[in-house]
Amino acid sequence: MKTVREKLDIIKKKLVLLCSQPHKIYLIVGLIGALGFAVITPPFQGPDEPEHYIRVQYIAHGHVIPVNPKSTGASLPKSIGETLRLTFYDDEIRGFSAKKYDFNRTKQAVKKSLNPSERYQPPMVSYNFLTYLPAVPGVFLANVFNLSPVISLYVARILLALASVVIVYFAIKLLPGKKYLFTFVALLPMMLFQQSMVGTDGVSYALLLLFLAYVLRLYTQSTDIQRNQWIKLAMLCGAIVWSKPLLYLFLPLIIILVKKKHFWRWSITAAVISVLLLGANIVMANNAGEYEYRSDSLPQNIQSDKQLQNLKEHPRRGPRVLWNSYMTSFGDDEARGVIGTFGAADTLYPLWMGYIYIFVLGMTATVSLGKDKSKLTIPNSWRWLAGGLAVVHFIAVNVAIYLTYTPYNFDIIYGVQGRYFLPTLIIIFMAIFLGRGAELKPQNKKNIIMISSLIILLLVIMALLITFQRYFMYTP
């Protein structure tokens, strides 16, 4: 009979073996986190989830290209609007952490069948259909069986969570270096939360990581890039353009392949395709018309044209607003929001969790834990380009929020959430740490990998518990 010590040694060996494969660490912890958030979070509590769910329903009803429902006659079953009122609008708790969700609201909503005979025409957001596609078959089947809209919502969440986790899984497998660093970045609670909600962020950010990983894999391969590989890269560029707005800013990072055979031919082709797809996106968005937000869903006094004119007439105002937003305690909520679910708008995790995440990310960034560091030499010019694009993305996001969501003449940028900066975080880590790191003894590497993986797993579980408490338990 084996002793306790022998049993513990066996468990440790299995853990070491599992932790030697970062993509498997991600798959296990990622599924726990993403599916956990999908189940725990009450209906429609994700960022703009009601609007995104309605867009998925429109796609499932055949309206793949966004349109203006009033001018085209597009409509949805009235039970969808009734479910939204019952589970979300009638007693909104988002942004009020002391208010709890009554699970009886979900129980009542489950009993409400789709009933497609009675219709209504909710406004349709103009986001492209691509990032919603994983959810559409499940929602379509739920509609065929006349299931409650709240059931199809959870089906959509689970399918989007699975799709985005699988995409990131393959991205981590493709990465030629710093696999553990980007595994742990991908396991940030905010990233997992976005993957678990009905929206565009989860799949979009997963596609961005896959694009970057594939570019770097092509860069490190010793053989010429084959025709089918160029085609796959062009398809990924197109997918980035048709995902979340502004992510296309990172497409110039393919310049790292400039010394590869046929680079200019294929990069120009990819650029032309991307521009055409971006143009098609703009045309479709204009075709859908301006989205009609609920009167109470936006801050008052939003005047985008006057806000832009004010910035043009007073060039110093923009930098001053940016300074006020991020160089005061107000900006702390956005910074914490990169790690804490939903940022200042809802569930904030305790600072000690953030400190531990920062410590683990810093450690895995500054030491070499992989086996292939010598194969990865990143040109400094590419690092500077990546860093510059990260800054451009950061500024572009803030300008967009200031123009479209911040009340006119505000001295801070109102409505920015940490989730917007997950792509910026990924790019900055790549720009600074890819191909770099202090060498350690093999045993030290194994210990750091195993301990860090267990810490991240525990933090993800803790994040789920804190989120559950926020919605269903007493919060002092």
Q: For residue range 290-306, what is the model confidence (pLDDT) as tens digits?
A: 666 655 567 888 888 99
> What's the distance, CA 56 to chain centroid?
17
Would strands 119-120 and 76-77 be described as parallel, antiparallel, or unpaired? Answer: antiparallel
Is-above-0.85 flag for pTM? yes
* First and final C-alpha spacing in the chain: 50
Say whether pLDDT at 323 is over 80.
Answer: yes
Say whether pLDDT at 220 is over 60.
Answer: yes
Partners of 382 in the β-ladder: none
- CA pair distance 203, 4, nearest whole angstrom: 44
Q: Classify residue 289 by its DSSP letter.
A: -
Q: How far is CA 416 from CA 1, 270, 318, 326, 336, in A?
A: 59, 32, 15, 11, 12
Summarised one tens digit per residue, pLDDT across range 112-148 is 999 889 999 999 988 889 999 999 999 999 999 999 9
> What range does the domain containing 214 cover?
4-472
Give the dihedral sign, CA 325/331/335/341: negative
Structurally, the chain folds into a number of domains equal to 1
Residue 299 gets the label, from left (phi > 0), alpha (psi -120 to 50) or beta, of beta
Identify which of 431, 363, 342 has the alpha carbon closest to the alpha carbon of residue 184. 363
3 state SS of 76: strand
% of the chain residues with pLDDT over 70:
96
Give the number of residues written for the chain: 476
Identify which of 334, 340, 313 has the alpha carbon closest to the alpha carbon of residue 322. 334
Identify which of 205, 148, 187, 211 has the alpha carbon closest to the alpha carbon of residue 34. 187
Give the dihedral sign, CA 437/371/170/198: negative
Identify which of 236, 458, 136 has the alpha carbon closest to the alpha carbon of residue 466. 458
Specify the range with the lowest mean pLDDT, choosing from 164-168, 271-275, 398-402, 415-419: 415-419
The structure tokens 């060996």 sit at 13
